[in-house]
Chains A and B, each alone.
Chain A
Amino acid sequence: MSQIHEPGKGRGGEAGTASLSRRRFLSAAGIGAGVAAAAPLSAVAARAAAPDPNIVPVPDWTKTLGVGVNNNPYGVPSKFEKDVVRREVEWLTASRESSVSFTPLYALDGVITPNGLCFVRHHGGEAEIDPDKYRFMIHGLVDKPLVFTLDDIKRMPGRVNRAYFLECAANSGMEWRGAQLNGCQFTHGMIHNVFYTGVPLRAFLDAAGVKTSAKWVLAEGADASVMTRSIPLHKALDDCLVAFAMNGEALRPEQGYPVRLVVPGWEGNMWVKWLRRLEVGDQPWAQREETAKYTDLLADGRSRRYTFIMDAKSVVTSPSPQAPLKHKGPNVLSGIAWSGRGTIKRVDVSLDGGRNWTTARIEGPAMPMAMTRFYLDFDWDGRELLVQSRAMDETGYVQPSKAELRKVRGENSIYHNNGIQTWLVHGNGETENVEVG
């Protein structure tokens, strides 16, 4: 029988999470209560008919020596994991240098994204910068315009370590008009979550001495797109970081080596890579990336601008189109949730397309503006499922359905699609991206 296991006691004072009774599940799934139910699958595995050849005889890897300790001075994943890679959707863009690749969320667990799998978004290709030649300049409405070397940045007092999600504003953008791409890698993979090491941007602004007329800062990259974004001064003074390491090692080149800006909870475009310059001013600069792009066209022809915050969002990563169900009986539904407005407080999961919901188990760290992992243990009887997840953050914001979003915004805003995702799990376990109504 398809049944949701009761998770532990409710977290954060949430009401307890009653398991969905079989009768309720059947009626929720639109199946008449009179239908004869299949016998529950036994949780005890069948007896093996013959000895397993992987046990008898002893396998080669148990008999002969493997490679030595430094065969790979920088280790790589097992060859059996070769399909767990970033992927691109070539038809999305006109060139590979101004394009995006996607994180294989379907194959990952926990909350930290491995550095080599973090999605990549460039506008002018990957800049290759000699760290000895790297410079960071602060000027504009300051008392003392300054230039810093990488060594200077690493000598600044007040270094911090913080985990944050970075989500592209266009994540799920191809799904505004309906279900389009089959796999959470493609529908939700413009996101990663790593631990940054860096120095608060505030320290640099303090060193330069911000004038009282200042209200905005312009951050600029050193790559061929010379990426620029205007950022309100209050955010720059609050929690932005000048980061030089991710997950304990130097930033990867594709993530801005040697230095990038970290703008917690805000759209990825503002997290300027290869950071070279910060100008302090009294008004925004109306750069291409905050006028032509990263503005949100509504149905009435008007457009929102400065939609910085990424709202609460979640997705079930397994089952999903690239991670179908392979077994009846016990299964672990796994997913991620995040919010730019703070900490994820609760994630609800539905197996019947949003008619009925069960609160999932948040497992591991739930930090502000960081990716959060949730699980739902359930028994699957082979019935068709319509899987959804719905995140709630500490401000009480609840992830909306796509229909609710379209009602406010229409279908042409491109960015900030945080609508609830539906996966249809077929009787054979195959899973596809659908929308329900």
Chain B
Amino acid sequence: MWKSAEALAVAIVMAGALAVAALPSHAELAPAAQKGEAGKKAQAKAEKGKAQQAVNAAAPAAAATAVKVAALGRPALAEEIAAWDIDVRPDGQGLPEGKGSVKEGEEVFLEQCAACHGEFGEGAGRWPVLAGGAGTLKSERPEKTIGSFWPDASTAYDYIHRAMPFGNGQSLTADQTYAIVAYLLNLNDVVKDDFVLSKENFAKVKLPNQPNFFDDDRETTEKAFWNANPCMKNCTGEVKVISRARILDVTPDGEQKGNLE
């Protein structure tokens, strides 16, 4: 049996009834507190018009919980963080020491990557195409590659080092990864044949499609989809079938399987 005071303390934690003063300082980021930049932003967002993501009133999520910071977990050691913190940002944060040339990259690429991606990044079978496609983004069949589409070279370094070669991830050294990225940039006409990519000059590399990305603007450009009174009667003229899946006949299992019997 608990002593009543202990029981009460437990009950208070569970009921989320501790004073706000018990909140840690960073809690000012919470929309409710309306302090700090994120708080202001969240508040502004909450006050925007009806075309906003609704506050989940039925499920107030974290707001009603975690009033007492749980004394769980243990401090992460620097070596542990270093082992897992492998991400690289567009500003170069996270890049390791090292360098690699286009020439070195070609060697590694032919050995480790070309079987799936082709000797020149043109892709083999259904594996991704990594080079080419310049000027195709407005066409009927865009070719989205590192050179034609990707906004940041840092993504190539991060992703290759993180998850490639497919099935043998995190096996490449920093120098090998710099070299492969240099080779891919060269295949995409971003750098010359004698280029050496390094931590120092990484930030200077600019990909051509960078300026053509913009943040989600659906609430503005698709404002017309918010409509309190959609048409219910006689909304269209004569309706004709203009496209049929059956013509293509690419559905797996044909007509026999997957049907309710």
Q: Write the residues of chain A forming the contact surface with B, with a CB cutoff of 8 angstroms.
A: 28, 30, 83, 87-91, 93-95, 97-98, 104, 106-107, 123-124, 137-139, 143-148, 152, 155-158, 160, 162, 178-183, 185-186, 199-207, 209-212, 214-215, 218, 220, 224-226, 228, 233-234, 237-239, 241, 264-265, 276-277, 279, 281, 283, 285-288, 291-292, 295, 297, 299-309, 311, 321-324, 340-343, 348, 352-358, 367-369, 386, 390, 392-400, 404, 408, 411-412, 424, 432-437
| Pick from B42, B75, B215, B240: contact of A306, CB under 8 Å | B215
Using Cβ atoms and an 8 Å threshold, which residues of chain B touch A241?
A: 61
Considering the chains assembled together, what is the distance between the CA atoms of A90 and B253 in angstroms? 11
- B203-246 vs A, CB cutoff 8 Å, 1 = contact: the mask equals 00000000011111110011011111011111110111111111
Looking at B24-32, B175-183, B189-197, the stretch in contact with chain A turns out to be B24-32
Considering the chains assembled together, what is the distance between the CA atoms of A88 and B252 in angstroms? 8
Contact indicator B51/A396 (Cβ below 8 Å): yes
Using Cβ atoms and an 8 Å threshold, which residues of chain A touch B137?
A: 297, 301
Looking at B79-87, B95-103, B106-114, the stretch in contact with chain A turns out to be B79-87
Using Cβ atoms and an 8 Å threshold, which residues of chain B touch A179?
A: 243-245, 248
Considering the chains assembled together, what is the distance between the CA atoms of A207 and B57 in angstroms? 25
Task: Given A30-B239, A309-B53, A348-B230, verify A238-B62 contact (CB < 8 Å).
Answer: yes
A353 to B, closest residue via Cβ: B239
Known contacts A28-B234, A89-B251, A432-B244; can you find 20 more A-B pairs with CB under 8 A? A137-B76, A139-B85, A199-B65, A206-B23, A212-B36, A234-B31, A234-B41, A238-B62, A239-B59, A283-B89, A286-B90, A306-B215, A309-B216, A341-B53, A354-B236, A356-B232, A368-B58, A412-B142, A433-B244, A435-B242
Task: Given A146-B75, A206-B27, verify A400-B225 contact (CB < 8 Å).
Answer: yes
Return A87 CB to nearest CB of chain B, in Å: 6
Q: B5 on the interface (CB 8 Å rule)?
A: no
Return B12 CB to nearest CB of chain A, in Å: 11
Using Cβ atoms and an 8 Å threshold, which residues of chain A touch B236?
A: 353-355
Considering the chains assembled together, what is the distance between the CA atoms of A158 and B85 in angstroms? 28
Contact indicator B212/A181 (Cβ below 8 Å): no
A280 to B, closest residue via Cβ: B26
Using Cβ atoms and an 8 Å threshold, which residues of chain B touch A137?
A: 76, 80-81, 84
| Pick from A225, A281, A354: contact of B163, CB under 8 Å | A225
- B31-66 vs A, CB cutoff 8 Å, 1 = contact: the mask equals 100001110011001000011111011110110111
Contact indicator B65/A203 (Cβ below 8 Å): yes
Return A160 CB to nearest CB of chain B, in Å: 7
Using Cβ atoms and an 8 Å threshold, which residues of chain A touch B51?
A: 395-397
Using Cβ atoms and an 8 Å threshold, which residues of chain B touch A138?
A: 73, 76
Q: B150 on the interface (CB 8 Å rule)?
A: yes
Contact indicator A436/B76 (Cβ below 8 Å): no
Considering the chains assembled together, what is the distance between the CA atoms of A354 and B234 in angstroms? 9
Return B130 CB to nearest CB of chain A, in Å: 10
Number of B residues whose C-beta is below 8 Å from A? 115
Return B93 CB to nearest CB of chain A, in Å: 8
Return B150 CB to nearest CB of chain A, in Å: 5
Using Cβ atoms and an 8 Å threshold, which residues of chain A touch B7?
A: none
Considering the chains assembled together, what is the distance between the CA atoms of A181 and B254 in angstroms? 11
Q: List 12 A-B contacts (CB under 8 A).
A: A94-B127, A95-B166, A104-B258, A138-B76, A144-B75, A180-B250, A206-B24, A238-B31, A297-B149, A304-B216, A305-B213, A433-B246
Contact indicator B53/A340 (Cβ below 8 Å): yes
Using Cβ atoms and an 8 Å threshold, which residues of chain A touch B150?
A: 291-292
Considering the chains assembled together, what is the distance between the CA atoms of A299 and B240 in angstroms? 26
- Across chains A and B, the number of contacting residue pairs, with CB separation under 8 Å, is 361
Considering the chains assembled together, what is the distance between the CA atoms of A370 and B82 in angstroms? 38
| Pick from B116, B151, B216: contact of A286, CB under 8 Å | B151
- B131-155 vs A, CB cutoff 8 Å, 1 = contact: the mask equals 0000001101010101001111011
Considering the chains assembled together, what is the distance between the CA atoms of A87 and B209 in angstroms? 36
Using Cβ atoms and an 8 Å threshold, which residues of chain A touch B72?
A: 148, 152, 155-156, 207
Most buried by B among A123, A226, A390: A226
Task: Given A107-B260, A160-B59, A211-B26, verify A395-B81 contact (CB < 8 Å).
Answer: no
Task: Given A200-B66, A207-B73, A435-B241, verify A394-B38 contact (CB < 8 Å).
Answer: no
| Pick from A203, A281, A285, A324: contact of B62, CB under 8 Å | A203
Considering the chains assembled together, what is the distance between the CA atoms of A343 and B54 in angstroms? 8
Using Cβ atoms and an 8 Å threshold, which residues of chain B touch A83?
A: 257-261
Contact indicator B245/A434 (Cβ below 8 Å): yes
Task: Given A395-B226, A404-B225, verify A286-B155 contact (CB < 8 Å).
Answer: yes
Contact indicator B239/A226 (Cβ below 8 Å): no
Task: Given A146-B76, A182-B251, A309-B53, verify A295-B213 contact (CB < 8 Å).
Answer: yes
Considering the chains assembled together, what is the distance between the CA atoms of A435 and B239 in angstroms? 10
Using Cβ atoms and an 8 Å threshold, which residues of chain A touch B234?
A: 28, 355-356
A292 to B, closest residue via Cβ: B150
Task: Given A145-B75, A181-B250, verify A394-B54 contact (CB < 8 Å).
Answer: yes
A359 to B, closest residue via Cβ: B232
Contact indicator B243/A181 (Cβ below 8 Å): no
Considering the chains assembled together, what is the distance between the CA atoms of A93 and B222 in angstroms? 31
Contact indicator A186/B251 (Cβ below 8 Å): yes
Considering the chains assembled together, what is the distance between the CA atoms of A400 and B225 in angstroms? 6
Contact indicator A323/B85 (Cβ below 8 Å): no
Considering the chains assembled together, what is the distance between the CA atoms of A277 and B150 in angstroms? 25
Task: Given A107-B260, A148-B73, A157-B68, verify A200-B245 contact (CB < 8 Å).
Answer: no
A290 to B, closest residue via Cβ: B155
Return B221 CB to nearest CB of chain A, in Å: 6
Contact indicator B158/A207 (Cβ below 8 Å): no
Considering the chains assembled together, what is the distance between the CA atoms of A181 and B243 in angstroms? 11
Using Cβ atoms and an 8 Å threshold, which residues of chain B touch A228?
A: 87, 162
Contact indicator B125/A265 (Cβ below 8 Å): no
Contact indicator B218/A307 (Cβ below 8 Å): yes
Task: Given A158-B65, A367-B59, A424-B241, verify A203-B216 contact (CB < 8 Å).
Answer: no
